[in-house]
């Protein structure tokens, strides 16, 4: 018999995983964390898992954990999360995403088939959508190994629901950001400012993303845990707002309040980077979701964290 408030979070020490652990614990969930490292960012006030297992999956000890814990749901927040790295080393990306996802689903099939499974996928499966805002029913057309491997994981999730009856769900997360994220565009801008260099970014600045604060990601996932059908459905997790990189950069520099920095763009497009993103979030909104943290407020929180990080060194 599974525990309806017990959740295993794979990748519990990562950016989204650690925030998700903290969020769910604050709402009364019993959370078991599994990761290759026991590291929660000490610069953020986060609640740690009730129990933590340091494992590098695939590891057969995971089956023992399933037998002992009997969770209601396993959330896969693990795996590589870099388009650039996936281009340089597609084998590592495939192994850390597709192989791991298969291992976990197969363990559930054999050990705890009544346990639900939630995959954290990515908007990268869409590639360059043919229309915006993009709906979950839009065709997948990845433009990077990272996107292709996320798509493969989604296929596995559908396979194990359709063939083996494992109750599954997938969330396609768009551009998540927030305290603790030491990569991607906000971190890039911040490093260029503190190193006293010109703030030059890739692209033209006209490229767009749909940014979502990390706590809103956790909030959306909680709603799916409590109300989702887990019939292999897919949810876009975003704010439903298209924001240009130029606008984001100006907001960030304004929030820093240091110097008279100007943005510059190289006009060089990085391989694997989409041109425009904006999500249709009607499906997650049907569960009661609405963004809690706007972009300006979210950037202020990120800046506050980044500045405190510098002061603590």
For 3-176+212-237, CATH gives 3.40.50.720
In this structure, the number of other CB atoms found within 10 A of the CB of residue 47 comes to 15
Domain boundaries, the chain: 3-176+212-237, 178-210+241-277+293-311
Instruction: Find all residues with CB under 8 Å of 198, minimum gap 6, and list them.
Output: 192, 264
- Enter the pTM of the model: 0.95
Instruction: Provide the mean pLDDT of the chain.
Output: 94
CA-based Rg of the chain, rounded to a whole angstrom?
19
**What is the reported pLDDT for 203?**
94
Do the Cβ atoms of 36 and 9 come closer than 8 Å?
no
Question: For the chain, percent helix, then strand, then coil, each to nearest 5?
Answer: 40, 20, 40
Summarised one tens digit per residue, pLDDT across range 268-299 is 999 999 999 999 999 999 999 999 999 999 99
pLDDT tens figures, 211-270: 999 999 999 999 999 999 999 999 999 999 999 999 999 999 989 876 677 889 999 999
According to DSSP, the β-strands at 208-209 and 243-244 are antiparallel
Question: What percent of the chain is modeled with pLDDT above 90?
Answer: 87
**Residues 21, 13: Cα–Cα separation, whole Å:** 9
Q: Say if residue 66 is exposed, middle or buried (CB neighbours under 10 Å; 0-12, 13-18, 19+).
A: buried
CATH 3.40.50.460 fits 178-210+241-277+293-311, yes or no: no
Looking at residue 2, its pLDDT comes to 59
| Predicted confidence (pLDDT) per residue in 37-52, tens digit | 877 676 788 999 999 9
What pLDDT, in 10s, does the model give residues 95-115? Answer: 999 999 999 999 999 999 999
Q: Looking at the predicted structure, is the pLDDT value of residue 194 above 90?
A: no
**Segment 138-181, tens digit of pLDDT:** 999 999 999 999 999 999 999 999 999 999 999 999 999 999 99
pLDDT of residue 4: 66
């Amino acid at each position: 018999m599974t525990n309806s408030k017990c959740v295993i979070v794979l990748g519990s020490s990562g950016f989204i995983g650690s925030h998700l652990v903290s969020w769910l614990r604050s709402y009364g969930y019993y959370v078991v964390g599994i990761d290759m490292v026991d590291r929660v960012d000490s610069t953020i006030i986060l609640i740690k898992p009730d129990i933590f297992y340091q494992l590098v999956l695939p590891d057969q000890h995971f089956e023992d954990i399933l037998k002992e814990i009997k969770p209601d749901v396993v959330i896969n927040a693990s795996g590589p999360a870099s388009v650039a790295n996936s281009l340089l080393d597609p084998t590592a990306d495939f192994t850390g995403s597709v192989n791991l996802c298969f291992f976990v689903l197969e363990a559930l099939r054999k050990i705890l088939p009544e346990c639900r499974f939630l995959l954290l996928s990515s908007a990268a499966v869409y590639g360059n959508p043919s229309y915006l805002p993009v709906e979950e029913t839009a065709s997948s057309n990845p433009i990077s190994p990272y996107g292709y491997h996320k798509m493969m994981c989604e296929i596995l999730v559908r396979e194990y629901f359709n063939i083996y009856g494992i109750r599954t769900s997938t969330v396609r997360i768009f551009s998540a950001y927030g305290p603790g994220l030491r990569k991607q565009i906000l971190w890039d801008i911040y490093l260029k400012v503190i190193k006293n260099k010109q703030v030059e970014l890739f692209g033209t600045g006209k490229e767009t993303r749909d940014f979502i604060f990390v706590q809103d990601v956790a909030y959306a996932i909680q709603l799916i845990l409590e109300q989702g059908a887990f019939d292999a459905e897919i949810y876009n997790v975003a704010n439903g707002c298209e924001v240009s990189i130029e606008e984001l950069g100006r907001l960030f520099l304004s929030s820093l309040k240091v110097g008279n920095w100007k943005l510059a763009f190289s006009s060089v497009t990085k391989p694997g980077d989409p041109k425009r993103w904006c999500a249709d979030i009607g499906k997650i909104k049907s569960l009661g979701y609405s963004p809690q943290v706007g972009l300006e407020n979210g950037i202020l929180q990120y800046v506050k964290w980044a500045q405190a990080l510098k002061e603590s060194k």
